[in-house]
Structure 1
Amino acid sequence: MDNPVIIFGAKGIAHPALEIFNSNGIVVYGFLDEDESLHGTEINTVPVLGHPEDDGFLKLIGKKAEAFVAVDDNKYRKFLVELLNERRKVQPINAIHSTAFISSDAVLGHGNFINAKVVLGSGATIGQHCILHTGAIVDHKAKIGDFVQIGAGSIINSEVTIEEGAFIGSGVTIVSGVTIGKNARVGAGSVVISSVGANETVFGNPAAKV
């Protein structure tokens, strides 16, 4: 990648996103965040430049810089993605740590955050704008929808389907063939042995509806 990256967001996953780009030798130009108290500060010597909706910075995207959206909250993440789509006609790039293992026939969309030691198995499909924390495993032929978040150390076994907007906590195990519905939530440490409906929250071993 020839162009530097501007990271949208300066909290949450923004700092590890910087580390991901550093691990690949990619220059980060700066951060943009709506919190004005952060403007003029630095994260590991990289400045927080200003507001994400500032046209002075937005006009750099697509010509002189790439964009990555480092925001945990799905609603605001979607807003920033749409902002880049509509005003700059670009998609955010992927942030993939140099120590992640991506199978040669795994399929990835745009704007995904894939942290250190993540494993994506053969034929796995990852949608767009997902967040996969450290050491998450997505086994072969699993399908992950858009805007899904998977916690550190979670194991998504083969042929699991996780639909758009679902949240999987840290240390979760989802057994093969299970479907996690749209916007569902799975609590940390849970073992999921049967499918979870849309908007449901489950927790425990075996996971039960809360």
Structure 2
Amino acid sequence: MDKPIIIFGARGIAHPALEIFNSHELVVYGFLDEDESLHRKEINNISILGGPEDDGFLKLIGKKCEAFVAIDDAKYREALVTMLNEKRKVQPVNALHRLAYLSTDAAIGHGNFINAKVTIGAGAEIGNHCILHTNASIEHQAKLGDFVQVGAGAVVNSGVTIEKGAFIGSGVTLVAGIKIGKNARIGAGSVVIADVEANQTVFGNPAKEIES
């Protein structure tokens, strides 16, 4: 990757993403964030240039710059990715920490944030635009859909399937072979021993549904 990178978003994972790119000696051109109060401020000497739909900066994407979307909220992250796909015909790049371990036959999509000490096992499949926080463990043959977020220290055991947009909190354990449905949410520290349906929120040990 020879081109500089523009990071979309200036909060949450934006700062650690910058650190990851710096560690690979990649140039970050700047940040774009919708919060105008952040414009012209800096993160580790890198400027927040303007908004994510500023055509003056967008026209650089795909020609002079690559893009990375550093947005925690899955729906907004997906909206920005769609905008980049449609307007600039590009997919965001991966931010892969040097201290992460990826099996040689793991499959990884585009635009993922994979932080320090994440382990991705043999035959695991990671979709696009996922966020894997520090020390998350994705065991062999596990499958993560697009826009999945896995919290720090969470353990996704072998053969688990996590569908698009699901949120797995910090310290969660998902036992082998279960399925987590689309947009489901798993509360921090939970131990999940059975399938979780789409849009469900569960918490506890063993995890049980939380009524909304």
In the superposition, the TM-score normalised over structure 1's length comes to 0.99
Structure 2 unmatched runs, 5+: none
Match of 2:29 in 1: 29
Name the Cα RMSD after superposition: 0.6
Match of 1:193 in 2: 193
Match of 2:78 in 1: 78
Does residue 167 of structure 2 align to residue 167 of structure 1? yes
User: Cα distance, 1:165 vs. partner?
Assistant: 0.6
Deviations 1:82-103 (A, max 9, x none): 1100110000011111110011
Displacement over 4 Å in runs of 4+: none
Deviations 1:55-86 (A, max 9, x none): 11011111111000000111111111011001
User: Cα distance, 1:11 vs. partner?
Assistant: 0.8
Match of 1:20 in 2: 20
Match of 1:116 in 2: 116
Deviations 1:146-182 (A, max 9, x none): 1100000000000000001100000000010010011
**One-letter amino acid of the counterpart of residue 200, structure 1:** Q
Does residue 204 of structure 2 align to residue 207 of structure 1? no
User: Cα distance, 1:27 vs. partner?
Assistant: 1.1
User: Identity percentage over the alignment?
Assistant: 72
- 1:126-141 to 2 correspondences below 5 Å: 126-141=126-141
User: Cα distance, 1:209 vs. partner?
Assistant: 1.1
Find the residue that maps to 1:78 and give its secondary structure.
helix
In the superposition, the TM-score normalised over structure 2's length comes to 0.98
Give, in whole Å, the separation in 2 of the partners of 1:204 and 1:89.
43
Give, in whole Å, the separation in 2 of the partners of 1:91 and 1:45.
26
The total of aligned residue pairs comes to 210
**One-letter amino acid of the counterpart of residue 203, structure 2:** F
Give, in whole Å, the separation in 2 of the partners of 1:171 and 1:82.
31
Give, in whole Å, the separation in 1 of the partners of 2:19 and 2:36.
23
Structure 1 unmatched runs, 5+: none
Give, in whole Å, the separation in 2 of the partners of 1:78 and 1:206.
31
Deviations 1:122-149 (A, max 9, x none): 1000011111011100000000001100
Match of 1:107 in 2: 107
Find the residue that maps to 1:7 and give its secondary structure.
strand
**One-letter amino acid of the counterpart of residue 73, structure 1:** D
Give, in whole Å, the separation in 1 of the partners of 2:28 and 2:102.
23
Deviations 1:7-48 (A, max 9, x none): 000011111111111121111110001111111000010000
**One-letter amino acid of the counterpart of residue 32, structure 1:** L
Match of 1:178 in 2: 178
Give, in whole Å, the separation in 2 of the partners of 1:209 and 1:74.
21
Find the residue that maps to 1:2 and give its secondary structure.
coil
